[in-house]
Structure 1
Amino acid sequence: MEIVIKKRGSFVKLTWFRRLKEHIVLDNDIQIQRYVKCHIMLLFGTIMFGDKSAAGVHWKFLPLLRNFGGIREFSWGSACLAHLYRALCRATRVNCKEIDGPLTLLLTWAWIRLPFLSPIPGNPRVFPLANRYHSLAHYRRVLDDLQEGQFVWEAYAVDRIVPGLIPADILHHSVIWSATVPLISFECIEWHASDRLRRQFGLSQGVPQQERNLGHAHGEVLTGPKNEDWSAVHSLWVMQWTNRYSHILSDPLVPLHSPLDIYMQWYRGAYESIFSQITPLNSSNDNVNGIIISNGFSHTNFTPSAVCNKICP
């Protein structure tokens, strides 16, 4: 059967994959593999690597599906995470009005780590449908009021997940979840700064390493030659990823997660210039419409959203 691919620039239309998938007759292994490949490309274009148009998926993924038996050998999870980091980075720009990427992953992360944000709470007496329509102001307020025990650091701890929920082959390699390495997906390079979130791996948070400067690789886009060999372009980063087992966090586990004094000293020093512009809510200054008035100057409230606005204006 001859197949004509419907393309839109560098993208293949998702509608074409859907129609092809619907008309495949599953009567032999070749047709079954073709059906699975269509389904994978639809997952790429809608869930894992979707763009703002939600209409197509980049053709760059097609060659990776040529060898059906080798599809599972790629690190799709780290590639998906790289695209999410890239999307979050772009979303901090003042002229960015929308965000793309694997937003399902982002929402799942938020709902697991911050259960009170979930539209379906654990309390059966709460009406889940009504919980879905809170305003933006509500979510900002609950984040500002966040307490220490409300954030779930170790979401995948044995006592928090259903046995067998995580496939055995994935759980077997869980040690590399903490690897401080680059995440690579074609042109996209993002840094997995696990040393800045050590508590999610059951470790005490010490002073993190210096931020890794990815240089021009961080802003790389898919322009220029269509046959670019990204494994050669990013050979330095690929080498670090290949040696990921040498970059895992391996400190002894600790039962308590209270921050170390050395970390708090570093944190205050690193962000002193930001905190100096913010006045705590419990100060004696006057509070007028959510703005602290002090010595003739206006300061934003000392809340997580205020700090975020200062860091990512």
Structure 2
Amino acid sequence: MLFGECTITFQDVAYQLGLPVDGRYETFGECPEGADEETVRRFARAYIMMLLGTQLFADKSGNRIHIRWLPFVARLEEMGGYSWGSAALAWLYRCMCRVANRHVVKLAGPLQLLQSWIFWRFPGFRPAGYDAFSWPLASRWSGYNLGISKKGPRFIWMPYSTPDVLQVVHPEVLEPRHMMLWWCVTSLIYFAVVEWHQVDRVLPQFSGVQPPPHPALNIDFLMSMDERGGDRWLPSHLQHWHLHWETRADHVLRFDVVDDPGPSHEFLAWWHQHGKRFLSRELYLGDPRGIPIPVEGTQRGAGRVPDMDRVDDVPDRRRVERRARVGTRRSQRDWRWLDQAMEEGDEAGRDGGRRRGGRGRRRGAAPR
């Protein structure tokens, strides 16, 4: 596999979902035959609400749609003027950033875009049924891949350059004014979510040679922003980032297109110095066969388990489990009688029998 970074860009959003990536940043049943215009518009609004709330900008609720979309679907004629692709990409970036936290166990966002991007870029993960092409490209998924093939390239830098793909792509996607934005380094805005389109770090995805990248833009302070208290303050508070999007045409990268894209020698030297070549610690990278197994570590007999010695600094888990079953309170002073009763029971068990007639001190009783 070639070295380098890869990510989801405007190009992937345009090919996979067929969404416009240019425009303003603000970004149920069947309709009966012979319905009047108002009924058709009502069904269209409901479908668009479902598409926005459950597909492109889905959250973890699963069955709820935010009311923020009502002003947008009320003006159907203006829906095509928004950059839905950049907003969906910003939301996916933010969701992937959140799930990187080890305490987060669920991933939201346009997951069909992420899944289809993996299938197109990593051939080994593709399921059966990828021989047929349809538009948008994300609609081609079918079936499961139970066995991952080890043959062929492990990553494809330019999966959209084949003639089969170009035959089904919508002509508007290939217009120069849209393709120009694929190479644009700008901000991605989705209400309070602001992310950065760092295509300067993935030039091989656009048939370019990757030089040593510039330092990544630190936007950690934007991760804590939400829409509590309303969102009318966002355009003024985030005016600097909105200006980046307004001037996106001025930040288009210029580079040479080559037949064999990949990292440059300077990038490989930079990556060797700053990259993480091994995911495991050095302790686990050695050959385990070079370490002799001691005699006491070998197994003797069928299913033999070595005896376990009690370590002094390790708490007795049996007492902890029994105490959890009985119940505790934050104040251990009131439940000290329970600890003493357990200790007496343990001592009696070690003496070979349990003393009869012994009772622990009652809760709250004073010693005599």
Q: Taking structure 2 as the reference length, what is the TM-score of the superposition? A: 0.62
Counterpart contact for 1:24–1:35, Cα < 8 Å: no
Give runs of aligned pairs for residues 16-31 of structure 1, distance below 5 A. Answer: 18=28, 27-31=35-39
1:82 and 2:98 aligned: no
| Counterpart position of 1:179 | 184
| Counterpart position of 2:211 | 206
Counterpart contact for 1:195–1:249, Cα < 8 Å: yes
Greater relative contact order (Cα 8 A, min sep 6): structure 1 or 2?
A: 2
Q: CA deviation at 1:231?
A: 2.4
SS in 2 for 1:61: helix
Post-superposition CA distance 1:118-162 (Å, at most 9, x none): 2225589xxx85x4446xxxx7xx7xx798x33111122253514
| Counterpart position of 1:286 | 287
Unaligned runs of 5+ in 2: 1-27, 133-141, 292-368
Counterpart contact for 1:25–1:31, Cα < 8 Å: no
1:221 and 2:222 aligned: no
| Aligned counterparts of 1:43 and 1:210: Cα–Cα separation in 2 | 37
Q: CA deviation at 1:111?
A: 0.6
Counterpart contact for 1:79–1:183, Cα < 8 Å: yes
Q: CA deviation at 1:280?
A: 11
1:168 and 2:176 aligned: no
Post-superposition CA distance 1:15-74 (Å, at most 9, x none): xxx3xx668886322222221111011011221111112111111122122222110000
**Paired residue type of 1:237:** W
Q: CA deviation at 1:246?
A: 1.6
Structure having the larger proportion of residues in strand: 1
Of 193-202 and 240-249, deviating more is 240-249
| Aligned counterparts of 1:177 and 1:47: Cα–Cα separation in 2 | 22
Give runs of aligned pairs for residues 124-273 of structure 1, distance below 5 A. Answer: 131-133=144-146, 149-159=153-163, 161-163=165-167, 165-172=168-175, 173-224=178-229, 226-271=230-275
| Aligned counterparts of 2:198 and 2:71: Cα–Cα separation in 1 | 30
| Aligned counterparts of 1:195 and 1:227: Cα–Cα separation in 2 | 31
Q: CA deviation at 1:218?
A: 2.8
Post-superposition CA distance 1:236-262 (Å, at most 9, x none): 111111111122222010111242111
1:100 and 2:108 aligned: yes
User: Aligned in 2, Cα 1:77/1:61: closer, same or farther, shift over 3 Å?
Assistant: same
Count the aligned residue pairs.
253
User: Aligned in 2, Cα 1:123/1:48: closer, same or farther, shift over 3 Å?
Assistant: closer
SS in 1 for 2:65: strand
Counterpart contact for 1:179–1:194, Cα < 8 Å: yes
| Counterpart position of 1:45 | 53
- What is the percentage of aligned positions where both structures have the same residue? 26
SS in 1 for 2:209: coil
| Counterpart position of 2:126 | 118
**Paired residue type of 2:260:** L
Q: CA deviation at 1:186?
A: 0.2
Counterpart contact for 1:115–1:121, Cα < 8 Å: no
SS in 2 for 1:219: coil
| Aligned counterparts of 1:235 and 1:168: Cα–Cα separation in 2 | 34
Q: CA deviation at 1:101?
A: 0.8
Please report the RMSD computed on the Cα atoms of aligned residues, expressed in angstroms: 3.0
| Aligned counterparts of 1:26 and 1:248: Cα–Cα separation in 2 | 48
| Counterpart position of 1:303 | none
User: Aligned in 2, Cα 1:270/1:109: closer, same or farther, shift over 3 Å?
Assistant: same
**Paired residue type of 2:272:** R
**Paired residue type of 2:123:** P
| Aligned counterparts of 1:113 and 1:280: Cα–Cα separation in 2 | 33
SS in 2 for 1:56: coil
Which structure: larger Rg? 2
